Structure 1
C-alpha cells in the first residue's frame, strides 16, 4: 500500500502551486541562505516554528525544496494511516479491516491532494492529533489511563505546536476530564511540549514576543466568514459588515460544546473507545463548520477521523465520511483550479477575488511587495467569487461574507448533511450508553479488554 501510495504521489512531484512559490519555497530559501537555524532570529513566516524546523533539516540535508516539502507531508501521511490501523485494531482482530483502514486513509483523494499536489502540511498536525485520540481510546480499552493519558497529551501538544487547527479536537479532553477518566495533571504535557518545541527559536535569538504571538497574529489575520471552506457561511447570502454573524457562529460553537459537556456530566453516559472517537470526530466536523474565517483545508482532521469512525459504527453511517470526502474533493478542486492552478496548469484563470496580498516580499521578509492576486497568506481567497474585503493581515474593519460560487454552495450543503449525520450518530450512540445501558457498555468494554486483539494492541 505504501508503494502504491508513492506511485500515485510521484505523478504530482513536479507540481508547484502558488502557495509553494509564494511562501514555502521562499521560507526554505531564507533558511538556507541564513545557514539553517540562524534564520529564526528574524520572523519570515506565519507558521509556528516546529514546521520551520523541518524545513531547516531539509536545508542541512540538501534536499530540494519541492521534493522535501512533499516528502514531509508523505511521512506524516503514513503516520496518519498507521494510527488509523491502530485505532481499528482496538475494535477488531481482522487484519483485513485494519489494513483497509490504513490503505483508505493513505489513498484518500483529499490526503493525496493536500500533500502531494498542494504541498500543504496538514498531515503533520493531523497525524499528531489522531495519535492523541488513539492513546485516549487505548487508555479506555486497556484501563491504563495514567500512562496512555500522558502519551495522548504529548501528541496533542505536538499537534497544537504545528498548527492551531488541532484545537478542533481538544474538546474530547474536556469530556474525559469531566467524566473523571483523564488525570488532570496530564494536561500539563500540552503546554510543556509547546514551550519545548519553541525553545530552539529562543536559543538562536528569536524575540520571545514573536515566538509566542504566532497564533495570536494568525487569529487576527482574516476577516471573512469563509475562505473557501465548505462550512455554514457558504449557505448564507449576506453582504456588508457581518461581524454579528461571525460572533453568532463563535457563540453557537461554544454553546454546543458547553452543552454537550454539561449533558455528559448530568447523564453520565459510559465512556467507551467508540464514544471517545465519536466525540473527537463530531468536534472536528462541527466546530470548523460553525466558526468564521475557516480555510478550505481546515476539515482535514475531520476527513481522517470520519473514515476511522466508519469502522466503529453501523454500516449506514458510512454516509458521514462519504459526504465529508465529497465536499473536500470539491473544495480542493475549486482551489487547485483557481489561484493555485495558475502555477501548475490545472486550467484557467483563478476565480478568486482581488483582495490584499501577502505580507512577505520576494526575499522572504516582511513589508515588501504583494502578489496582487488576492492570494494573501497560505490557503486564502481561492475557489469562488469573493468580495475581497477585509482579507489578509492588513484588512481592517469587520467581517465580510467571503462566499464562493454555486459550486462551493453545493459543497457546503454536503458538509451540512455530514454535520447532521454526525449529530444523529451521537444521539444514537450516546443514547445506547446512557445510564440505562451503562452496565452493559461497561461489560462490553471489559470483554473487549480481555480479548487477544486488544491485548496485542
Structure 2
C-alpha cells in the first residue's frame, strides 16, 4: 500500500504559516463565491430552477414517479439528469420558505464543490502529508473551472468527478470494494463517470481486484436509483436512464475543447460518421491505456495517479458529443497530481488542462468562440506531455526485463 511518506518532496511549512495560508484561501473562496453566486445562466434559469419549482409544487415523490416532458428534442422525461441530482433538489426544496429556487440551486452546486474538495483531500492524502492535502483541497475551491462550474454556472460536474476521484483514491489505498462501489455511484450520478473505466480495467487486468467485487458497481448504481424506484419510477426506466440522453443533441461538439470542435467547424465528416469514428477511437484508447500498460508494469503511487490523469483527459478528448464541462475530472486529477508530485511538467500539464477547460467555458458563458479551439490545443499539448511521462514510468521495467532476457540468452 502506498505510504503518505512520499510527502517528503514538499518543503516543510511551520504550522502557523499553514494556518494563515488556509485562512487566507477560505476567505478568498468566500469572497469569490459570494460574487459568482448571482451569475445568471440559461442552465439554471431554463432547467434547474423549473425542476426545483416542480418539486416544490408537486412534492418529491410525484416529481420522481411521473416524468415531466421538457422542451428539448429527444428528451422525453423529467429532466435530462439522473435521479440522484433530483434527490439533491428535493432536499434543497425543504428550504424553499427561506430562500429562492435560484439561490437554492446555486447552493446545491456550491455544496458539490465542497464535497469535491473533501474528496480531493482524501486523494492527495494517500500520497502526501495532512498539511499538504488540506491546503491542496482548500486551493482546489479556487480553481477557475471549480468556481465557474459551481457558484457561477450552477452545474454539478463536481459531484460525479469527486466520486470518480474517490475511485482513484481507494485504488491508491488498495480498498478494492470501496473503489468499485464509488464507481457505481459516480455513474449513477452522471454517465460521464465512465471516463475513469479504463483505470478500473487496468486495476482488474493487473490482478489486483478479485472477481467477487465485479458486481459491486451495479449494486451501488441500483442503490442510488432505489429512492426513485420506491417513488414509482419503473425499474427499466432507471436502468436505461442514459439511453434517452444519447439522442438529445446532434452535434459532434458542444463547445468541447477537443478535435471534434475543429471537425464540426470544417464539416469534415457528417454527424453520424463522426459518432462512429469517435466511438471506435474511444474504445481503442480505453483498451490501450487500460490494458496495454499492464503488459509492462504494475503502476503504484503517483504513477498510478498519472495514469488516471491521462485517462480522464484522453477519453473526452477523443469522444464526440462532449460538452465543455466534461474535462472537469481531468482538471481536478491533474491538479492533485501537481500537488502530490510538484514537478515542472506536472504543474505545466495541470495549468494547460485548466486553461483549456476555462477556454471552453468562455465559449459557452461569454460567447468567446475561439476559446474552445485554443482549449483543444492546450489540452492536446498537456496530453502529449503526460503521455510522455507515462511512457517513462512504464519503460524501466520493460528495459529491465529485456536486459534480464539478454543475460539469460
Greater RCO, 1 or 2 (C-alpha within 8 Å, sep 6+): 1
Partner of 1:45: 79
How far off its partner does 1:313 sit?
5.9
Q: The residue matched to 2:93 in structure 1 has which SS? A: helix
Deviations 1:167-215 (A, max 9, x none): 0012111101111112222232211111112122122222333323320
How far off its partner does 1:132 sit?
1.7
Partner of 1:69: 105
Partner of 1:7: 31
Does the C-alpha gap of structure 1 residues 186 and 2 become closer, same or farther in structure 2, counting only changes over 3 Å?
Answer: farther
- 1:21 aligns with one of 45, 63, 71: 45
Partner of 2:90: 56
Map 1:198-347 to 2 at 5 A.
Answer: 198-236=225-263, 237-239=266-268, 241-267=270-296, 269-310=297-338, 311-312=340-341, 314-338=343-367
Q: Which runs of 5+ in 1 are unaligned?
A: 140-147, 339-382, 385-405, 439-457
Partner of 1:116: 151
How far off its partner does 1:3 sit?
4.1
2:37/2:151 contact within 8 Å kept = yes
Partner Cα distance (1:212, 1:86) in 2:
30
CA RMSD of aligned residues (A): 2.1
How far off its partner does 1:434 sit?
4.1
Partner of 1:127: 162
Shifted more, 156-165 versus 195-204: the winner is 195-204
Partner Cα distance (1:292, 1:246) in 2:
6
- Return the structure number with greater helix share: 2
Partner of 1:444: none
Does the C-alpha gap of structure 1 residues 294 and 60 become closer, same or farther in structure 2, counting only changes over 3 Å?
Answer: same
Partner of 2:133: 98
TM-score by length of structure 1 reads 0.75
Partner of 1:425: 389
The answer to whether structure 1 residue 178 and structure 2 residue 205 are counterparts is yes
1:37/1:56 contact within 8 Å kept = no
1:81/1:105 contact within 8 Å kept = yes
Shifted more, 120-129 versus 421-430: the winner is 421-430
Q: The residue matched to 2:215 in structure 1 has which SS? A: helix
TM-score by length of structure 2 reads 0.83
Partner Cα distance (1:204, 1:89) in 2:
39
